[in-house]
């Protein structure tokens, strides 16, 4: 039976040991690369320049019982743990979970914390090596199901533009912004060169959770191998992308680039109705005090330009009449702690139970196909048989 897109996870992560992608780092920079070290009490952690030890745990839960520290990329028998193996293993995991393809975002810790590498050339070499590995060695096995998202460096506008162009030439499905293209946590005029180039290249833009913030308490505590109850209870209750969104609106970005779109993975969306109402109300109340009035209501910019990725956000579907459902995509967040793997189909059946069939089809297939330029009727790569 020919397989076509039915369920696309628009948020997965490539959490793998370093031996694959670090082989692409030039020899002169390899001693600055992150290192995976075995821990005395079991499992592994990462050593990254400028960072305390980063503990594996929530990043490679993979549907198993989660560990805060001491998780391993390998099972006791030496085989790769769920979500940490090669591309063929990943395709089999998609089959097990009932999904057809994944948009693959960078490793949650290493993708951000290599920004601490003090040598700009070495840092850029790490970013380029990761992207080279993703395009040449990993996603090339099934580029229609392992949807490659290139990491854009945070070392300034010239590096960002160069990697955007390289990503297009390497055939990436999208690019992921950790900072704004100028290399900081706030938009700047020089970013316009990047936005214009992305539109010319027709390259889909993404961010994971937000742009700019790598000091979020949950990210910091997870990397440090500790979870405090107050911080954990706050997870997801204060939407991380709000600062990014409001700064983009205030900068006039979407007036200058009315065709620009951005997908914010793992942002969730159940919070949107109240936030959009409050943004509009605040703007109307105080608008006479701004030096640059907006052409549209804040909520209208959000509805036109931003897409939101839900993971275990059943509220978003329950509140479907109050938010822009045509801007929603779903992701399993595999292999992270909140993943729905290996029971994603059961979870989706429950959440979409009384929702219109068209909404489920849009969130799981049509919207990601349109955004990432996928042919929804294409016959997909078959998972290789076990040897």
Interval 50-89: pLDDT, tens: 888 989 988 999 998 888 888 999 999 999 999 999 999 9
| Residues contacting 260, CB < 8 A, separation 6+ | 195, 198, 199, 205, 253, 254, 305
SS3 229: helix
User: Worst-scoring range by mean pLDDT, 11-20, 158-167, 174-183, 216-225?
Assistant: 216-225
Average pLDDT over residues 282-308: 92
Q: Which of these CATH numbers, 3.20.20.140, 3.40.640.10, 3.40.50.720, 3.20.20.70, describes 8-15+80-216+229-371?
A: 3.20.20.140
pLDDT of residue 215: 63
Confidence class for position 3, pLDDT limits 50, 70, 90: very high
Residue 191 pLDDT > 60: yes
Across the chain, mean pLDDT equals 93
Structure tokens at 6: 């039915």
Domain boundaries, the chain: 8-15+80-216+229-371
* Backbone torsions φ then ψ of 112, nearest 5 degrees: -100, -40
Region of residue 187 (phi > 0: left; psi between -120 and 50: alpha; otherwise: beta): beta
What pLDDT was estimated at residue 20? Answer: 87
Q: Positive or negative CA dihedral for 31, 34, 36, 41? A: positive
Q: pLDDT tens digits, residue range 21-46?
A: 889 999 999 999 999 999 999 999 99
pLDDT tens digits, 217-231: 655 666 566 666 666
Note the pLDDT of residue 8. Answer: 98
Predicted pLDDT of residue 220: 60
State pLDDT tens for residues 244-282.
999 999 999 999 999 999 999 999 999 999 999 999 999
- What confidence category does residue 110 fall into, taking pLDDT thresholds of 50, 70 and 90? confident
Strand 328-330 and strand 174-177: the pairing is: unpaired
Q: Which helix (H) or strand (E) holds 152?
A: strand 146-152
- Give me the pLDDT at residue 232, please: 63
What pLDDT score was predicted for residue 386? 72
d(CA 155, CA 24): 19
Task: Kindly tell me if the per-residue pLDDT of 303 is higher than 70.
Answer: yes
């Amino acid at each position: 039976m020919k397989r076509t897109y039915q369920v696309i996870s628009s948020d997965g992560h490539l959490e793998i040991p370093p031996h694959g992608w670090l082989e692409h780092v030039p020899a002169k920079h390899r001693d600055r690369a992150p290192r995976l070290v075995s821990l005395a009490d079991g499992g592994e952690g990462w050593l990254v320049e400028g960072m305390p030890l980063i503990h594996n745990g929530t990043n490679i839960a993979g549907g198993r019982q989660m560990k805060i520290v001491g998780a391993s990329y390998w099972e006791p028998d030496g085989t790769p743990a769920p979500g940490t193996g090669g591309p063929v293993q990943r395709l089999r995991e998609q089959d097990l979970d009932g999904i057809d393809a994944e948009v693959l975002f960078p490793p949650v810790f290493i993708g951000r914390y290599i920004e601490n590498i003090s040598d700009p050339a070495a840092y850029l070499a790490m970013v380029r090596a990761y992207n080279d590995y993703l395009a040449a060695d990993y996603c090339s096995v099934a580029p229609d199901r392992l949807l490659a998202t290139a990491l854009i460096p945070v070392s300034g506008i010239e590096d960002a533009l160069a990697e955007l162009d390289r990503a297009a030439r390497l055939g990436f499905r999208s690019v992921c912004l950790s900072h704004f293209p100028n290399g900081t946590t706030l938009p700047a005029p020089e970013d316009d060169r990047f936005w214009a180039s992305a539109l010319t290249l027709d390259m889909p833009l993404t961010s994971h959770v937000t742009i700019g913030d790598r000091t979020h308490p949950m990210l910091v505590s997870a990397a440090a191998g500790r979870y405090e109850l107050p911080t954990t209870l706050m997870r997801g209750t204060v939407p991380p992308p709000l600062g990014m969104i409001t700064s983009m609106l205030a900068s006039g970005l979407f007036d200058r680039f009315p065709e620009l779109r951005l997908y914010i993975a793992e942002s969730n969306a159940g919070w949107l109705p109240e936030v959009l109402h409050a943004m509009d109300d605040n703007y109307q109340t105080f608008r006479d005090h701004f030096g640059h009035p907006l052409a549209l209501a804040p909520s209208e910019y959000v509805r036109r330009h931003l897409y939101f990725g839900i993971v275990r956000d059943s509220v978003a579907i329950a509140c479907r009449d109050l938010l822009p459902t045509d801007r929603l995509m779903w992701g399993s967040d595999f292999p992270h702690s909140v993943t729905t793997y290996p029971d994603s189909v059961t979870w989706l059946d429950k959440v979409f139970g009384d929702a219109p069939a068209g909404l489920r089809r849009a969130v799981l297939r049509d919207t990601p196909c349109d955004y990432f330029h996928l042919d929804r009727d294409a016959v997909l790569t078959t998972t290789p048989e076990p040897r």
